Amino acid sequence: MNTLDYVKKYQDELSNNKYNSVFNIWAFLFSSLYFLYKRMYVWFAVFFIAPLILYRIFEAISAESNIYLIAFLIMHLIAGFSANPLCKRYLENYIKNHQNADLNKIVSYHSVSVVKLVLFMILSCGLYSLYWGYKHWETYQLTTKDDVSPFVRGWLIHLTAPSLFAKIGKSIHSSIQLQYLGIGFLFCALIPIFFDRYFETFQDATTIYSIIVLQLILFLISVLFLAIVQKKINDYNISHSNEKVKITVNIKEIIIVLIGFILFGVLSFQNDKDSYSFLGEYTQEQQEKIGASVGFIYRHTKGYKEVCQKEGYIIKKYPNEFLSYFSHEINQLNAGLSKHNYTIEDVENALLNDSLKTRIATDIYTELEMTRKFIIMSLVAEEQGVSIENVHWDNNWNNLLTFKDVCEIFDERGIDLLKENENKDFLKANGL
């Protein structure tokens, strides 16, 4: 239903004296949900929060076990008795404010210099788009009297862009289907959110660099989409009013640019702050070495054990053999950290978040799976009397050696492989 449909519906409800009774049984039964159904969002929030506040007040006065039920019942009674007057007043105001709505009215959307738009988008790291969206939705609402919230739709501009761009295209008679630019603008926002959510699961530097470049390209494309739409708005407004677009700046825009710039700086350096700020007594090189060493210790003492345990095998020997083999180096590392009252466990808890632990586990799983296939192919090559390079993997061989079997082999032989391939200097404290 659009705004005019709601106006007609509310006029019918008032003419039928639907809200003349003293008590509203539906509001009594459903309280806040009733006001949500009636689209009275402020009263929905009031009746949703009020029982919790009343309960806390009663709880401070009395420790009765049924105190919440009493608070709940009181608010439902208040809702039942107050709903009809509130609904009646809401409907009357809605009709008054929107009965003259013209959803097809031509709108002269907000004019802003394209140069300023692009510059402020870049300086605010995209935050300016929220203000841009708010101004256009405000212009639309004031012109058409449509029932929309410019503030909410402006802050959700990436979601509302397809709708807004379509309305703009209709008003300015654009030859370009602007709603498609709105859809593109939406995707330019959604894709970086996906990468941000799983950013820490990517391992190699090349992939991370490529993702950063892709995010930058998507951001610039989104700026281009806004610039195209704004240019068409400006051209339309100039052709109808002959007034050139002035490059003016107000205090709200300056504040938005500053907030966007500051937020970008805070978020950009948040990971480094969270990871290494507590190791500030050490140089950057020492911090990186500590992080690498602790990650290495975690991988061999806990990582392999956790991965294999999920596959049904409990590693018994390898972690202890690892600690014994690297005991001198681990003691040196602990001694170096203790100078500033740190332990290896402190560093592990601070640096190894869930994403990094998941990445380590994935790496271990991949390593052991490759080992499993290598052992199987080696056995097949030996049986067929050919070199392993001439053997091609066949999924029918999976049952020849399970992942659990590989974990058992690793538990027995892992320390020998480590001694053959790992230099103990890797874990040396080097003056920490």
Model confidence over 36-68: pLDDT tens digits?
Answer: 999 999 999 999 998 888 878 877 776 566 777
Closest CA to 136 of 107, 159, 106: 107
Give me 414's structure tokens: 């892992």
Residue 339 CB: number of other CB atoms within 10 A? 10
Higher pLDDT, 208 or 312: 312
Give me 384's structure tokens: 């067929």
Give me 400's structure tokens: 């020849």
Mean pLDDT of 223-245: 88
Higher pLDDT, 87 or 274: 87
The residue type at 222: S
d(Cα 271, Cα 355) in Å, to the nearest integer? 12
Closest CA to 304 of 285, 319, 287, 286: 319
pLDDT of residue 423: 67
Cα of first residue to Cα of last residue in the chain, in angstroms, is 69
Q: pLDDT averaged over the chain?
A: 86
Residues in the chain: 432
DSSP letter at 401 equals: S
Q: What dihedral angle (degrees, nearest 10) is formed by the CA atoms of 275, 281, 286, 290?
A: -50
Which of 100-109, 190-199, 291-300 is predicted least confidently? Answer: 190-199
SS3 383: helix
d(Cα 23, Cα 154) in Å, to the nearest integer? 38
Residue 76 has pLDDT above 80, yes or no: yes
Give me 231's structure tokens: 């240019």
Mean pLDDT of 8-31: 92
pLDDT of residue 208: 62
Where are any strands of DSSP class E within 194-350? Answer: none
Which pTM value belongs to this model? 0.60
Tens of pLDDT, residue by residue over 181-208, are 999 999 998 887 776 655 555 544 566 6
Distances in whole angstroms, Cα of residue 356 to Cα of each of 198, 214, 317, 363? 11, 23, 25, 10
pLDDT of residue 273: 45
d(Cα 31, Cα 44) in Å, to the nearest integer? 8
pLDDT of residue 207: 63
Residue 320 has pLDDT above 90, yes or no: yes
Burial class (CB in 10 A: 0-12, 13-18, 19+), 280: exposed
Residue 157 has pLDDT above 60, yes or no: yes
Residue 322 has pLDDT above 70, yes or no: yes
